[in-house]
């Protein structure tokens, strides 16, 4: 994922290539597992583009969201968080999230075997599934170990 790729992506959506837009995409692609809030994106983009304002980041995030270049995710902590869309990166399937009920850490996982279920739903109900979101709740390895001590 580099700036040229993002520039081409913006152009393909009919958008002007601006530093702010590239900056937000860049930050999100680099911190894939961190699930940043708009404020956190702002703090990181500002390192490269000190002139950027928080309002611009909000607007940029909104725009990229509407275009499907980034996804908004809700990890049940009361914050809207963002990550680069799977459609934006090479890999087709987006990852999903494991949420630890004890420490609140979020882990990503890829495999979900839902294609079979989607095929089954299509067959039995005639409903064509085009997207899904999976969140699994439980206790991470560390928290389990801490409990046993
Ligand atoms: Zn994620
Ligand atoms: Zn935990
Ligand atoms: Zn999936």
Q: Could you give the count of Cα atoms lying within 13 Å of 61 in the half-sphere of its Cβ?
A: 24
Q: How many other C-beta atoms can be found within 10 angstroms of the C-beta atom of residue 23?
A: 24
User: How many Å lie between the centroid of ligand 2 and the Cα of residue 143?
Assistant: 4
User: How many Å lie between the centroid of ligand 2 and the Cα of residue 144?
Assistant: 7
User: How many Å lie between the centroid of ligand 2 and the Cα of residue 76?
Assistant: 15
Ligand nearest to the CA of 74: 1
User: How many Å lie between the centroid of ligand 1 and the Cα of residue 52?
Assistant: 25
The long-range contacts involving 129-134, CB below 8 angstroms and separated by at least 24 positions, are 133/96, 134/96, 134/97
Could you give the angle at which helices 19-30 and 3-12 cross, rounded to 10 degrees?
120
| Tens digits of residue pLDDT in 40-53 | 999 999 999 999 99
User: How many Å lie between the centroid of ligand 1 and the Cα of residue 95?
Assistant: 6
pLDDT for 1 equals 57
CB-based contacts of 3, cutoff 8 Å, min separation 6: 22, 26
CA pair distance 45, 142, nearest whole angstrom: 32
For the chain, domains (ranges, CATH) are 1-91 (1.10.10.10), 95-149 (3.30.1490.190)
Average the pLDDT over each of 47-51, 59-63, 110-114 and give the range with the smallest value. Answer: 110-114
Ligand nearest to the CA of 113: 3
CA pair distance 22, 6, nearest whole angstrom: 6
Reduced to 3 states, what is the DSSP secondary structure of residue 2? coil
- Of residues 40 and 134, more confidence is placed in 40
């Amino acid at each position: 994922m580099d700036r040229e790729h993002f520039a081409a992506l913006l152009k393909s959506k009919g958008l002007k290539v601006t530093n702010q837009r590239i900056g937000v995409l860049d930050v999100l692609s680099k911190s894939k597992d961190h699930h940043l809030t708009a404020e956190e994106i702002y703090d990181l983009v500002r390192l490269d583009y000190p002139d950027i304002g928080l309002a611009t980041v909000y607007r940029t995030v909104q725009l990229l969201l509407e275009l499907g270049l980034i996804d908004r995710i809700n990890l049940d902590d009361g914050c809207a968080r963002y990550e680069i869309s799977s459609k934006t990166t090479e890999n087709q399937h987006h990852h999903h999230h494991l949420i630890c009920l004890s420490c609140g850490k979020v882990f990503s996982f890829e495999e979900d075997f839902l294609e079979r279920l989607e095929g089954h739903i299509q067959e039995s109900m005639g409903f064509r599934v085009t997207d899904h979101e999976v969140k699994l709740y439980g206790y991470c390895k560390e928290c389990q170990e801490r409990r046993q001590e």
